Chain A
Amino acid sequence: NAGVTQTPKFQVLKTGQSMTLQCAQDMNHNSMYWYRQDPGMGLRLIYYSASEGTTDKGEVPNGYNVSRLNKREFSLRLESAAPSQTSVYFCASGGTGVSNEKLFFGSGTQLSVL
């Protein structure tokens, strides 16, 4: 039972390069989220998708784009990476109604932008 799977686990980019972080869940959840974790800043919401076909901005969306490819998959794209985007990125999913309150997290992607 995989839960939430993120790829890659580690990535090093040069400033200006682009990349896509992949996330897939096998729990048939409707909502999916992307957070970034930085020391002293906690988990900050980048984008989320309350259901298949919808996406919304979170607290820190600038410099990112997302695609809810289907119910299982939610990708995060950095079009032109900047050193300020060095962080640990977590994908999470949750169900609908009262059950969407419990989030299940992936193991994270550690991204360094040089």
Chain B
Amino acid sequence: QQQVKQSPQSLIVQKGGISIINCAYENTAFDYFPWYQQFPGKGPALLIAIRPDVSEKKEGRFTISFNKSAKQFSLHIMDSQPGDSATYFCAARDSSASKIIFGSGTRLSIRP
């Protein structure tokens, strides 16, 4: 049973469009919510992260929206580019155990 539920499993977006990936959680001990990006043959790398005391964080074309009451958060990629094609993972840190749990991943393809 995944503690962090991620959707969709795969996503195809046209170049210049908006990519949206969603995640949900139940554990109230989660206190930090990062997104990781992974290219084929590589390990994941931190993309952007948010804490639950803010509702939105933006870094360039990447934005996290966070809804604490609904226990949901999402990644928005504006003006999506072919170079954004990768697998994206949401994650959450369990502060009660100092461990980081990942979602099931979304394979994003940006069509030229």
A2 contacts B by Cβ under 8 Å? no
- A35 and B6 alpha carbons, distance in the complex (Å): 17
Q: Is residue B44 contacting chain A, with contact meaning CB distance below 8 A?
A: yes
Please tell me if the beta carbons of A43 and B99 are within 8 angstroms of each other in the complex.
Answer: no
Q: Is the CB of B104 within 8 A of A42?
A: yes
Q: Total A-B residue pairs with C-beta atoms closer than 8 Å?
A: 62
Please give the distance in Å from A109's CB to the nearest CB on chain B: 11
**Which A residue's beta carbon lies closest to that of B94?**
A45
Please tell me if A74 contacts chain B, counting CB pairs below 8 Å.
Answer: no
Q: Check B42–A102 contact: CB distance below 8 A.
A: no
- Known contacts being A42-B6, A43-B89, A103-B46, is A48 close to B99, with CB within 8 Å? yes
Q: Mark B29-62, 1 if CB is under 8 A from A, else 0.
A: 0001010100001111110010000000000000
Which residue of the partner chain, among B46, B49, B89, B100, contacts A42 with CB atoms under 8 Å?
B89
Partner of B100, one of A33, A41, A56: A33
CB within 8 Å for A45 and B99 given contacts A40-B104, A103-B46, A105-B45: yes
Q: Taking A101-B49, A103-B46, A107-B42 as contacts, is the C-beta distance between A35 and B93 under 8 angstroms?
A: no
Contact A45 B9 (CB under 8 A): no
Q: Residue of B at shortest CB range from A54? A: B98
Cα-based distance from A33 to B3 in the complex (angstroms): 17
**Is B25 part of the binding interface, using a Cβ–Cβ cutoff of 8 Å?**
no
The complex places the Cα of A56 from the Cα of B36 at a distance, in Å, of: 23
A25 near B: Cβ within 8 Å?
A: no
Using Cβ atoms and an 8 Å threshold, which residues of chain B touch A43?
44, 89, 91, 102, 105
Q: Which residues on A are within 8 Å of B, measured CB to CB?
A: 4, 31, 33, 35, 40-45, 48, 50, 56, 58-59, 90, 92, 94, 100-103, 105-108
